Chains A and B, each alone.
Chain A
Amino acid sequence: MFEDSALRLLIYDEIVRTGETPAVSTLSRLVSATLDDVRASLRRMHDAHMLVLQPTGEILMANPFSAVPTPFVTEVGGRRWFGNCIWDSLGIIATLHADGRVLASCGTSGEAMELSVHGGVLTGEGIVHFALPAGRWWDNIVFN
């Protein structure tokens, strides 16, 4: 049997290694466990706000990474991942402990925007808007 914490780390390792969020079936194979056991583990972590599941039970967010395309592309070392929002797209750079850049767009005009991090220092224009107060972030994490 596997621990939730081990599955959590495996999910991140797979995202970093492959650039894609692993499916439940992939995780089941990697930990040699049943689909039901993997789904139960993922559900516990979803309920604990450690990740976010799709209605199908597949992973939607292993924050800061998004399993689905978003307008927030993080580029590190020539590789790309999707972030869930501007905070998370910068969070991918932090998670990978590397230099990188975020290719995003203005939330209203759609105009292309870019933020870069080199040596821990950020450069780039724009302003970040948090629409919902912190106490409501998990009311609708997808909108947030």
Chain B
Amino acid sequence: MLLFRSEEMVNLWCRNWNLPRGAILSPATCWALAREWYRDRRDPKWRRRTVDEAHALFNQLGLTGDFWKLN
């Protein structure tokens, strides 16, 4: 997951790597995802999210569609 200056830069990266364009997020959405994903990482009770829990978080942030399916 990389940060780019512009969509043009993303398109160039995809061309350089010969990869289709993936998903574009705003920095604010990426922060919201990071905050929810990692806020409890140092909690002794931490456990990996189930697939359903991860999907619920993605949905909550508007990250929907096949791209965001973990299975």
Interface residues of A (CB under 8 A from B): 5, 8-9, 12-13, 16, 48-50, 63-64, 85-88, 90-95, 97, 104-109, 111, 113, 115, 117, 120, 122, 124-135, 137, 144
Contact = CB atoms under 8 A, between A and B. Distances in A.
Given A133-B66, A133-B68, A113 B30 contact: no
23 contacts: A49-B48, A50-B48, A64-B41, A87-B33, A91-B38, A94-B38, A94-B41, A95-B41, A106-B4, A107-B4, A107-B9, A113-B3, A127-B10, A128-B2, A128-B4, A128-B24, A128-B27, A130-B22, A130-B67, A131-B14, A133-B23, A134-B54, A134-B58
A117 B31 contact: yes
Contacts, number: 152
Nearest to B33: A87
4 tightest A-B CB contacts, nearest first: A107-B2, A91-B38, A90-B34, A108-B9
Nearest to A62: B41
B25 A120 contact: no
A112 to B, nearest CB: 10
Nearest to B7: A127
Contacts of B37: 87, 91, 94
Given A9-B44, A131-B17, A133-B66, A126 B3 contact: yes
Interface of B: 1-7, 9-10, 12-14, 16-17, 19, 21-31, 33-39, 41-42, 44, 46, 48, 54, 58, 66-71
Given A87-B1, A127-B25, A133-B22, A97 B39 contact: yes
| Secondary structure type dominating chain A contacts | mixed
Contact of B2 (A64, A86, A95, A111): A86
> Chain B CB within 10 Å — which of A50, A88, A131 has the most?
A131
Given A95-B41, A122-B27, A85 B1 contact: yes
Given A48-B48, A50-B48, A108-B9, A130 B31 contact: no
Contacts of A87: 1, 30, 33-34, 37
